[in-house]
Amino acid sequence: MKRHNPPRLSRPYSSAGFLLPLLVSAEPTVALETTGAQPPTVVSPIGGAFLVNSPDGGVEMIFAQASGDAREVARKRTTDHGRSWSQPESVLKLPGPGWGAPLPLLTKSGELQFFWMVARGARRKPAVDYFIDVWQAHSSTGQSVWTKPQRIFEGYVGSINGMTQLRGGRIVLPFAYWVGGRPEAPPTGANITITVYSDDGGKTWKQSPAKLTAPCYENYNGSNYGAVEPTIIELKDGRVWMLIRTQTGCLYESFSPDGADWSEPKPSRFCSSDSPAWLVRLPDGRIVLFWNNCENTSRIDGQGVYTNRDALHAAISSDEGKTWRGYREVCRDPLRNESPPKRGDRGTAYPYAVATKDNKVLVVTGQGQGRRSILLVDPEWLCQTRCQDDFSGGLDGWCVFKAFGRPKGWWRDRTVGPRLVDHPDRPGAKVLHIRRPDEKDGDGAVWNFPLGRQGKLTVRLRLQPGFGGGSIALADRFIQPNDNVGEKKVLVTLPLGRDGALPGEGKLVPGRWHALDLNWDLDKAACNVVVDGKPACTLPMSKAPSPGVCYVRFRSTANAIDAAGCLIESVEADVSVGTTR
């Protein structure tokens, strides 16, 4: 879907009006459990399109295509979870240029609602001389007859990230609009989040009285858009739950009894790097959330750096959002280790998901050239409690890029950091080599596993003779491998001294393989470190509110070039005794 982009405004972020082409990849982590659940897989590349359920339980792709000298909305159908699609079928003619693929909603009557964002104006200043209006059309008579598109909101509107029909029949569409002339600055940025709703099947629309905002802060590493790009879902108790993209480091949430009146937005439990989310309910009643559980990048010498969208995550709740499991990477940017483009959005953000009749989820997501795909996600995979990696499948499940140099225009270069090398003792096997090979910052590597408030991470590692120092940290979010902001956001860090010394009496002997266990308990705010089966030390954990541990980050902390570094043979996480919140 080609989205209407305002001028770049010297920033690479997706604003509340940037609706850009998306793209991703998913590389699975090896799971130990034999539940039959499959890791997320890319089933199809995709261009500008959205997915929607069909009345018989199938899934359709809605897109725009040429039709003679004009354009039309068309659709394809899949019966095998997106691996193959039927031939295109025309749905309706588009009114003119500037109209692309609409966001579709299947209503309880089996009809479709289409929503477009259509640009007009000089395209210089949002909501001053540049506008993106919301237009709507709906079907009747079994999707065979369509109304003429009507404009239901006039202004500058950002990405639409979810709409729903309530049990009583009301259709609710949330979005944010830019206030003309308002600066992207504290206290609440340039945008306001609202909803519009219809009680007559889309014939007429009303605007909610609530105007939702979120705080902004000076010196933020990005643009202070404010509260934008909301997603909603109806809960079983009748309330409507909204999650809103903000620049606060987390998604904000609001609740409504009817989709019109909304509570004041408050911080949710979900960390987010200024990116939108998507909520979807499975046929069995569970809720799945897709979002970027990422810590935003930090400024370098006061210069801004593009935000962190290197991984997309998913979590699942069986109790209407009270507790969650998973927090797992369902996809990682397939080009994450390369030098990034100097302009435009990139990464894994903007998920659009539908549930299949057999409780799977198809997700369209990704931003930038070579990054947009359809993923098939098995929610049971989110419920697993153990996983491991020994690098026999390469580095697909890891992020090992290294940012370096001064930022310029929100761009900062990247290169590959840690690399796989031959195992020193096992012919044919590989190990991960983490070091500081040059004057750039030391290497870093990040690996994700299922969330747990208690659990154990086992690492097989060897410090090479001449090791210059390093660290192993546990976190509840994705932190870029060598981003210094991570030192403040991790839950616990185990420093590895140059001679192998650990806090307390523990020690790793360079040149020898060790089994290192990190046994954490967030409720006790403690992490017990065990080396080769013997207690080594107990480290205090952060007491900041956290849902659990789901990441490990390895770093070289050498003060000078360290060609020796350390070798990682395998990692294994077990959170089967843990609980989530």
pLDDT of residue 68: 87
Say if CB 165 and CB 105 are below 8 A apart: yes
Where do the domains of the chain lie, and which CATH numbers do they carry? Answer: 46-277 (2.120.10.10), 398-574 (2.60.120.200)
Q: Mean per-residue pLDDT for 468-489?
A: 92
pLDDT of residue 48: 84
Q: Give per-residue pLDDT as tens, 519-550.
A: 999 999 999 999 999 999 999 999 999 999 99
Q: Give per-residue pLDDT as tens, 114-170.
A: 999 999 998 889 999 999 999 999 999 999 999 999 999 999 999 999 999 999 999
Whole-model pTM: value is 0.93
Say if CB 400 and CB 418 are below 8 A apart: yes
CA distance 472 to 466: 18
CA distance 425 to 428: 9
In Å, how far are 292, 319, 578 from 581, measured between CA atoms?
18, 11, 10
Backbone angles phi, psi at 487, to 5 degrees: -65, -20
Where are any strands of DSSP class E within 453-512? Answer: 454-463, 470-475, 492-496
pLDDT of residue 44: 87
In sequence order, the β-bridge partners of residue 455 are 520
Please say if the pLDDT value at position 357 is more than 60. Answer: yes
Percentage of residues in the chain having pLDDT higher than 70: 93
Concatenating the DSSP letter of every residue in 369-407 gives: TT--EEEEE-HHHHT--EEEE-STTTTTTEE-EEEEEEE
- Of 423, 522, 507, the C-alpha closest to 475 is 522
pLDDT band at 505 (very low <50, low <70, confident <90, very high): confident
How high does pLDDT run on average in the chain? 92
Q: Mean per-residue pLDDT for 176-195?
A: 97
CA distance 245 to 121: 26
Q: Mean per-residue pLDDT for 226-231?
A: 98
Q: Give per-residue pLDDT as tens, 369-388.
A: 889 999 999 999 999 999 99
In Å, how far are 245, 290, 524, 536 from 530, measured between CA atoms?
40, 35, 17, 5
Say if CB 446 and CB 481 are below 8 A apart: yes
